[in-house]
Structure 1
Amino acid sequence: MSRKTYDNINETVYLERLDNGLTVFLLPKPEMSKTYGIFSTNYGSIDQTFVPIGNNEKITVPEGIAHFLEHKLFEKEDRDVFTDFGKQGASANAYTSFTKTAYLFSATNHIEDNVKTLIDFVQDPYFSEQSVEKEKGIIAQEIKMYDDQPDWQSFMGTIKTMFKNHPVNVDIAGTVESINSITKDDLYTCYNTFYHPENMILFIAGNFDPENMMSLVKENQAAKEFEKMNEIVRDFPDEPEQVGMKENKIVMPVSVSKCTVGIKEANKELDRDEFLKRDLLQDMLLNFYFSKSGQFYQELYDDNLIDDSFYFEMNLDRNFGYTLIGGNSDNPDQLANKIKELLMTTNSETIQEEDFERMKKKKIGQLLRSMNSLEFIASKHIHYHTLGIDFFDLIPEIQSLTIDDVNHYLKHWISEEKLAVCKIVAE
């Protein structure tokens, strides 16, 4: 077990890659009363086309199967795993994103029992034809619920407007039609391909002894057998640099219209250094222009185009990236035009040294505040690790950014062909 200390943030992380390939991170924080564990696989909703383990030919599985699989792993032949966690005083949950599926718990006692429960239930799949058919009805109701949520429709509507071919444009839960085609064999194929320990990370943070915890995990894994894993071959369609559509209008029963402007940030794999630079600068520039103290925010507010629902977010991942800016507006057309107009001016702007130093300090401050959350640390650490980046090295990486870095990025950040608009309007 290796140990790495980060003096600038006073954190120590223990790491070991086990014989079966599982990567284990331990972050002991004895000052905390709570312990948080997350068991994550590098497999999400975009992984629809791949070569199954033991095969030579690629297949395409139904949309929404990663999310469906997440649901089914909690149900065993004789019980529901949530009950096991409940008896041990733990709160458990799971989530599926575009690129990951994660299972998690938080608890203040019975920590070792809960860690074993977490690992064991994820590594012991049970799917029957009957239980799969039953789950289809449950997830179909969930899909229909999201179909009626304007915020979700605005989010996915903007993604679908930007991306033409990439499976990020498919709802994480799939469609009612796609999940109805899922079989028990499909679930086992996806599970056996993507849930191998070599494709998974276990991160435990909180109040525990790292030596004892690592011994527990190693003993647990040594008692199980896994076939040797070959490299997972995933396949993605070519995606153009420009957006798939300029505008998308969705009619729903809403009292106030919504408008989101999307920026298509990436459409292909980026190397580690380029990814990290983009990831940091993108977030810093959004804060600079669109936070409540930002120049663009003030213009939008003065024009009565936004209210408290206004937001911005960005996501840069394995082979795609996007930024979303928007919110409720009585004048969605005017808001879209104004945001695009403001974005297009950035190409000719220059960030001043004083402003950039302030941007870096703000980013570091936000990061340090977020590190008070075990959940944030664990999920972000896993996210960055799968991309070859050490999350706890982000602060020195931010400090190393230069004024030339930000101004070069700014000059090439926005182009008309990368902007798309999604509006939610009343019937």
Structure 2
Amino acid sequence: MEKIEYAQLNETIYKEILPNGLTVILLPKIDFYKTYALFSTNFGSIDQQFIPIGETDFKKMPDGIAHFLEHKMFEKKDGDVFDDFSKLGASANAFTSFTKTAYLFSSTSHFKENLETLLDFVQKPYFTNKSVNKEKGIIRQEIQMYDDLPEWRVMFGLLENLYPNHPASIDIAGTIESIEDITAELLYENYHTFYHPSNMQLFVTGNFEIEQTIEWIRKNQNLKQFEEAKEIKRRYPSEENTKVIPSGEIKLPVNKPKVLVGIKGKKNKLKGAAALRQLISVEFLLKLLFGETSSTYLKLYDEGLIDDSFNYEYTFEREIDHLSVGGDTKEPDQLISILKNLLLKAAESPDLNEKHFEIVKKRSIGESLQSFNSLEFIAHQFNDVQFEDVTVFDIIHLMESIELEDIKKVAMQYINSENMSEFRVTPKLK
């Protein structure tokens, strides 16, 4: 095992790539009473076009199939995996994002049994067309539930504008129409392409013994047979087909309009520390412009243009790069105009000053350090924030190295009117 120390944070991780290609990362935290494990694959909702293992041509999969596959993984031939975890005193869950699918558990006892249950059910799929058709009804209800949420609709409305003709604009669960095309055969095709150990990572943190745990994992994997790892070939729409749509609107039964303004980043190939630095810098920029310590936030709040729903976010993943800002407002036109103007003139904003930057920087470092007290936070951030060998534990060091001039430079490089869009949900008249 490779031992990687982060002296500044007093953290040490142990990393090993097994013969079958599975990356295992262990982070012992003996002061905690529980353990948390997250088993993930580099496969999400945007991975719709690829060459299935054993074939030679690209194939387009139905929208939502990665999420559908996640649902079906918990069903076994002789029962339900959630029941197995429950009997072992563990809490289990799973999620699908644009670029990842992950399965997890947390427990205070029966660690070995729960760890083996996690590895075994994810590596032993069982699908039938009968069970797949039954699941369609469940996922159909889930899609309809989210379709009724204004917050969800305004977010995906903006994504449809920022990424037209791209799978990032489609609900992770797919559509009621698209899931009808999903079959057991297609699920197996996706599974065998993306769930090979070489495309997966197991992260374990909490109270456990290192050598004992890695031996359990090695033994578990040695008992299983996997085909030789093959390169996964994916395909996405070209940039020419995904030019930003400037605006959009839908009407829903809401009491107050909801708005979002977004900017899509330019296609870049940042890697390692440069990629994480980009992520931190844009998040700093948004905090300076729209955070609770900014003059903008206080002014908009005092004028009643925003309320506690006001939020900003930066998403920077494989094939995905955009920021968004907005919330509920009684004056959508006015708020959108103000937000656009603030973004376009970000580098010149009076909120981008040394005193304010130091406040935001110190607060961000403090919040990150506090978050490291949560096993869940560490596991999910380790899964999400990985740029080659740079991880969540490099965030503090990079935060400290970033200066105000770096933020202004990022503002000038990132923000442009061509890649800006707005979307609003307005009240539907009865």
* 377-386 or 176-185, which deviates more: 377-386
1:238 corresponds in structure 2 to: 238
2:261 corresponds in structure 1 to: 261
**CA positional deviation for 1:352:** 3.7
1:193 corresponds in structure 2 to: 193
Deviations 1:247-304 (A, max 9, x none): 1111111112111111212445433344222201011111111111112212221331
**CA positional deviation for 1:206:** 0.6
CA distance in 1, matches of 2:159, 2:311: 16
Tell me, yes or no, if structure 1 residue 113 matches structure 2 residue 113.
Answer: yes
Deviations 1:368-397 (A, max 9, x none): 111111111111112223654222122112
Tell me, yes or no, if structure 1 residue 29 matches structure 2 residue 8.
Answer: no
CA distance in 2, matches of 1:244, 1:106: 41
1:397 corresponds in structure 2 to: 398
User: CA distance change for structure 1 residues 244 and 418 in 2, over 3 Å: closer, same or farther?
Assistant: closer
CA distance in 2, matches of 1:23, 1:172: 26
The 5-angstrom pairing of residues 182-221 of structure 1 reads: 182-221=182-221
CA distance in 2, matches of 1:229, 1:178: 30
Deviations 1:16-38 (A, max 9, x none): 11010000011111111111111
Q: TM-score under structure 1 normalisation?
A: 0.96
Asked if the contact 2:276/2:385 (under 8 Å) is kept, the reply is no
One-letter amino acid of the counterpart of residue 210, structure 1: I
Q: List gaps (5 residues or longer) in structure 1.
A: none
Asked if the contact 2:52/2:193 (under 8 Å) is kept, the reply is yes
1:342 corresponds in structure 2 to: 342
Asked if the contact 1:22/1:202 (under 8 Å) is kept, the reply is yes
One-letter amino acid of the counterpart of residue 312, structure 1: Y
The 5-angstrom pairing of residues 197-346 of structure 1 reads: 197-240=197-240, 244-346=244-346
The 5-angstrom pairing of residues 113-192 of structure 1 reads: 113-192=113-192
> Helix, strand or coil: the match of 1:385?
coil
1:363 corresponds in structure 2 to: 364
CA distance in 2, matches of 1:13, 1:271: 21
CA distance in 1, matches of 2:100, 2:224: 23
One-letter amino acid of the counterpart of residue 408, structure 1: K
**CA positional deviation for 1:354:** 4.1
CA distance in 2, matches of 1:184, 1:269: 36
User: CA distance change for structure 1 residues 5 and 274 in 2, over 3 Å: closer, same or farther?
Assistant: closer
User: CA distance change for structure 1 residues 386 and 8 in 2, over 3 Å: closer, same or farther?
Assistant: closer
One-letter amino acid of the counterpart of residue 215, structure 1: E
Asked if the contact 2:63/2:173 (under 8 Å) is kept, the reply is yes
* 324-333 or 92-101, which deviates more: 324-333
**CA positional deviation for 1:348:** 3.3
CA distance in 2, matches of 1:24, 1:122: 15
Deviations 1:221-267 (A, max 9, x none): 00001001111111111125985211111111111211111121244
One-letter amino acid of the counterpart of residue 140, structure 1: R
* 290-299 or 132-141, which deviates more: 290-299
> Helix, strand or coil: the match of 1:336?
helix
One-letter amino acid of the counterpart of residue 295, structure 1: S
User: CA distance change for structure 1 residues 425 and 409 in 2, over 3 Å: closer, same or farther?
Assistant: same
Asked if the contact 1:26/1:203 (under 8 Å) is kept, the reply is yes
CA distance in 1, matches of 2:273, 2:202: 25
User: CA distance change for structure 1 residues 391 and 62 in 2, over 3 Å: closer, same or farther?
Assistant: same
**CA positional deviation for 1:340:** 0.8
One-letter amino acid of the counterpart of residue 102, structure 1: A
Asked if the contact 2:271/2:387 (under 8 Å) is kept, the reply is no
Q: TM-score under structure 2 normalisation?
A: 0.96
CA distance in 1, matches of 2:152, 2:225: 41
2:102 corresponds in structure 1 to: 102
CA distance in 2, matches of 1:334, 1:324: 17
2:383 corresponds in structure 1 to: 382
> Helix, strand or coil: the match of 2:5?
strand
Q: Percent identity?
A: 46
2:13 corresponds in structure 1 to: 13
Asked if the contact 2:150/2:254 (under 8 Å) is kept, the reply is yes
Asked if the contact 2:163/2:243 (under 8 Å) is kept, the reply is yes
One-letter amino acid of the counterpart of residue 201, structure 1: Q
User: CA distance change for structure 1 residues 242 and 48 in 2, over 3 Å: closer, same or farther?
Assistant: closer
Deviations 1:293-350 (A, max 9, x none): 1122122213311011111111101122111111111111211111111112214348
CA distance in 2, matches of 1:235, 1:268: 17
CA distance in 2, matches of 1:176, 1:201: 31
Q: List gaps (5 residues or longer) in structure 2.
A: none
One-letter amino acid of the counterpart of residue 193, structure 1: T
2:421 corresponds in structure 1 to: 420
Asked if the contact 2:273/2:387 (under 8 Å) is kept, the reply is no
User: CA distance change for structure 1 residues 387 and 317 in 2, over 3 Å: closer, same or farther?
Assistant: farther
Asked if the contact 1:268/1:320 (under 8 Å) is kept, the reply is no
1:51 corresponds in structure 2 to: 51
CA distance in 1, matches of 2:388, 2:157: 27
**RMSD value, Cα:** 1.6
One-letter amino acid of the counterpart of residue 158, structure 2: T
Deviations 1:118-146 (A, max 9, x none): 01000000000100111111111110111
> Helix, strand or coil: the match of 2:75?
coil
* 232-241 or 10-19, which deviates more: 232-241
> Helix, strand or coil: the match of 2:39?
strand
One-letter amino acid of the counterpart of residue 219, structure 1: K
Asked if the contact 1:26/1:210 (under 8 Å) is kept, the reply is yes
